[in-house]
Amino acid sequence: MAPAASGFDKLGNVTPRHKFSRETYDAVIIGAGPAGIFAALELTRQNDWSVLILEKGFDMSKRKCPVRGERPVGCEIGCRPCSITCGWGGAGAFSDGKLTLSPEVGGWLADFVGREQLVRLIAYVDKIFLEYGAPRYVHGADHDLVEEIRQRAMLAGLKLISDPIRHMGTDRCPVVLEAMRKDLTGKVEIATRTQVGKILVESGRAAGVELKDGTIIKAKVVVAAPGREGSAWFAGQAQQLGIGMVNNAVDIGVRVEVPSLIMKPLTETLYEAKLLHYSKTFEDQVRTFCMNPDGYVSKEAYGEVITVNGHSYSNHHSGYTNFALLVSTRFTEPFKDPLSYGRSIARLANLLGEDIIVQRLGDLQIGQRTTTARLARSTVQPTLKKCTPGDLSFVLPFRHLRNILDMLEAMDDLVPGVNSRETLLYGVEVKFYSARLKLSPSLEAKVENLYAVGDGAGVTRGLVQAAASGVIAARAAIVKSSS
């Protein structure tokens, strides 16, 4: 029998956690985010496999952020691993719980399976979320109202992407994911606080994993679902295994916060407005992301860097709406490390702002730093209480800032008031899903029986497509094993 795996206490000390029931499993899943969970659900629904899920964070019932209560405040502790980004449910467990039901957003799975198949997968995943308690109401389903907003957006130089959404909320999302956890109990083996060191390969085939403490776990199939937190680790594994990678665009920008009334013409119908714009200065793509009506700005820890994010509850209302404005940049030769580029910008913000910088838009426009005094007299007060008034022009490249300012001007034509001097900008927001492995249509890597799924593999960027990628891999593994 394999020895106990190791976890980490709050001080980073290695402690024994899990005793494995066997030395060899049919499948080992790395990561218990949506991709890993849905891979496990599919394997148990389709076949009687021995399945082990390895997750370096805490179980859902123990995922407690020491500084995040009903109304979140900033992080000053830096827990490793961070319970906001790691643990059962992945970062998605505390990321507002939006289920985007359109194939147009949330990842690149259509590149692998085609649009029609992706539509069917989204419907399948949505049905499962409903089975476990997701709300039945869908925002953005009124075609006439959506078309009216789309036409107004076009006049402002913006493209609205149809994006029906189920909103679970940061309070309800963990309940749904915990229901999945309970259903899987007894069907699969789950080891939390257990970190994988490397993926094992023998004769060109995945053979299992080696844990950080040296424990060897054998497996016939390995499904890697490392999440955004594990994207850098997984990119390193791919390089060591000789698996080619394709760089996705790097998404870097800010989180915008305005009074909810300003965004109400959009959020009342759509809940989240997915808007695309090509800046007038550089013609770079800028997009809105993760819009949270009556929500809160929050922090996330990705390894040694802190980035800004946002979320909202189903019952608590802040009076403010926040959303990200992200500039997408795709690097070409010879640069091959977009993850490090994003992290370096985040580190600079952490250095200058003691984690997160907040600036009034009006101050940025006239080239002055926001001070504590200026922020105090602003009509918009930050929902993220632990942030540093400062100057984002010392952090973000000029090209990114100019693109963001162009986007805000265009949005102001659609929803007047967004481009107000009182609008708050938080920096920086970076999305770490930029390294995509070269995969087959079934998401299998060059290494046979190694499947790469979810945001950390660079193939998705949202709950629904991440879950769908887990389904794709599980189905493919089942078919392959029976052939």
Of 415, 431, 447, the position where a domain reaches its end is: 431
- Per-residue model confidence as pLDDT tens digits over 265-295: 999 999 999 999 999 999 999 999 999 999 9
Same domain assignment for residues 268 and 393: yes
Q: How confident is the model at residue 340 (pLDDT cuts 50, 70, 90)?
A: confident
Same domain assignment for residues 48 and 100: yes
| pLDDT of 336 strictly over 80 | no
Radius of gyration of the chain (CA): 22
- Torsion sign across C-alpha atoms 4, 229, 188, 184: positive
| pLDDT of 103 strictly over 70 | yes
Q: How confident is the model at residue 67 (pLDDT cuts 50, 70, 90)?
A: low
| pLDDT of 3 strictly over 80 | no
Q: Is 40 within a domain?
A: yes
What is the predicted pLDDT for the residue at 49?
92
| Choice between 66 and 152, residue whose per-residue pLDDT is larger | 152
| pLDDT of 80 strictly over 50 | yes
| pLDDT of 165 strictly over 60 | yes
Q: How confident is the model at residue 331 (pLDDT cuts 50, 70, 90)?
A: confident
Same domain assignment for residues 177 and 278: no
Same domain assignment for residues 46 and 116: yes
Tokens for 343, please give them.
Answer: 């992290």
% of the chain exceeding 90 in pLDDT: 69
Question: What is the number of structural domains in the chain?
Answer: 2
Report the alpha-carbon angle 309-313-315, nearest 5. 160
What is the predicted pLDDT for the residue at 175?
92
| Choice between 228 and 93, residue whose per-residue pLDDT is larger | 228
Same domain assignment for residues 254 and 234: no
What average pLDDT does range 337-349 have in this prediction?
86
Helix (H, G, I), strand (E, B) or coil at 420: coil
Q: Which domain holds residue 293?
A: 249-431
Q: How confident is the model at residue 240 (pLDDT cuts 50, 70, 90)?
A: very high
Q: How confident is the model at residue 432 (pLDDT cuts 50, 70, 90)?
A: low
Q: Are strands 245-247 and 305-311 parallel, antiparallel or unpaired?
A: unpaired
Report the alpha-carbon angle 278-110-476, nearest 5. 155
- Per-residue model confidence as pLDDT tens digits over 13-25: 444 468 899 999 9
Work out the mean pLDDT of the chain and round it to a whole number: 89
Q: How many CB atoms lie under 10 A from the CB of residue 205?
A: 14
- Per-residue model confidence as pLDDT tens digits over 188-220: 999 999 999 999 999 999 999 999 999 999 999
Cβ-count burial 90-121 (b if 16+ within 10 Å, e if not): bbbbbbbbbbbbbbebbbbbeebbeeebbeeb
- Residue written as token pair 């997968």: 121
The candidate with the shortest Cα–Cα distance to 88, out of 129, 32, 139, is 32
Same domain assignment for residues 257 and 236: no
Q: Is 348 within a domain?
A: yes
Q: Is 182 within a domain?
A: yes
| pLDDT of 302 strictly over 80 | no
Same domain assignment for residues 231 and 329: no
Report the alpha-carbon angle 56-57-60, nearest 5. 135
What average pLDDT does range 145-169 have in this prediction?
94
- Residues 227 and 478 sit within 8 Å (Cβ to Cβ): no
- Per-residue model confidence as pLDDT tens digits over 352-368: 988 899 999 999 999 99
Q: Is 335 within a domain?
A: yes
Report cis status (omega within 30 of 0) of the bond before 428. yes
Q: Is 159 within a domain?
A: no
Same domain assignment for residues 413 and 447: no
| pLDDT of 74 strictly over 50 | no
DSSP, residue by residue, 25-40: EEEEEE--SHHHHHHH
CATH number at residue 470: 3.50.50.60
- Residues 324 and 408 sit within 8 Å (Cβ to Cβ): no
Extract long-range pairs of 67-70: CB within 8 Å, 24+ residues apart.
Answer: 68/94, 68/298, 70/313, 70/316
Helix (H, G, I), strand (E, B) or coil at 272: coil
Same domain assignment for residues 353 and 219: no
What is the predicted pLDDT for the residue at 304?
79
Q: Is 157 within a domain?
A: no
Helix (H, G, I), strand (E, B) or coil at 281: coil
Q: Is 356 within a domain?
A: yes
Tokens for 38, please give them.
Answer: 């849905």
Same domain assignment for residues 214 and 296: no
Q: What is the pTM of this model?
A: 0.84
Same domain assignment for residues 460 and 373: no
